[in-house]
Amino acid sequence: MKLLEDRIRKDGVVKEGDVLKVDSFLNHQIDIGLYEEIGKEFRKLFPDEDITKILTIEASGIGIACITARYFNVPVVFAKKTATVNIDGEVYSTRIDSFTHKRTYDVIVSKRFINEGDNILIIDDFLANGCAVSGLIEMVQSAGAKVAGVGIVIEKGQQSGGRLLRERGIHVESLAIIESMDAGTGEIIFREQQ
C-alpha cells in the first residue's frame, strides 16, 4: 500500500534492535484518515462476504480493527492482556511473547464472543515473530471457528512470523512488508507486492 509505505518512510523512525517507531501516526498518536484508508484496503484484500467478526488484541490493534470493521459491517472482539473482574471464568486463553514489550502476556477472550460457525478476520498493527497472531488463531480454532485471514498493517519481513503463517496455509495480507531497515541511515526497504 503505497500511501502507507510513503508515510512510514516520512514519519517512521528506525531504532537499534530492529525497532520501527510509528507512534506519531499509527500506535500512540493516530491519523484517522490513514486508518480509514487501511480499513478500505483490508476490505479489498479480503473480499469474502462471509466474514462474521474481526478479532484483534489490545491495545494498538483496537482502533485499526474498529475502523476496518466499518467496511465489513461486523462486530469487533478484542483479546485482553490480563484477566479483569469484568471477565467471567469462561474464557479462551493463550500465552504470548511480545517482541515490542519484551515480556510474556496471558491473553483471554470470552467464550461467548467466538462461536462455531464464525469466520474470523484477525487484524493487528505489527507482525514480527507471529506470536500474537498464532495465539489468536489458536483461540479461534479452540472455539471451532474458522480463520478467514490475517490482516497486518506492518510486517517485519526480516522476522519469521509471516513466512511461518503462510506456510501453514493461512491467508496473510500485510499492507507494508519491511525487507530491511538500517538504524544508522534510517533507510527502510519494503518488499515488492502486487
Binding site for a second copy (CB under 8 A): 17, 19, 21, 23-24, 27-32, 35-36, 58-59, 62-63, 65-67, 69-70, 73-78, 80-82, 84-87, 100-102, 109-110, 112-113
CB of 21 to a second copy, least distance (A): 6
- Displacement of CA 45 from its chain's centroid (Å): 14
Identity of the residue, 19 or 189, whose beta carbon is nearer to a second copy in the bound complex: 19
Identity of the residue, 14 or 170, whose beta carbon is nearer to a second copy in the bound complex: 14
Identity of the residue, 104 or 193, whose beta carbon is nearer to a second copy in the bound complex: 104
- First and final CA of the chain: distance in angstroms? 10
CB of 169 to a second copy, least distance (A): 28
Residues 6 or more apart in contact with residue 6 via CB below 8 angstroms: none
CB of 84 to a second copy, least distance (A): 5
Per DSSP, the residues of 41-64 read: HHHHH---TT--EEEEETTHHHHH
**Quick check: 118 and 148 in contact, CB under 8 A?**
no
CB of 179 to a second copy, least distance (A): 21
User: Whole-angstrom Cα distance, residue 191 to residue 32?
Assistant: 25
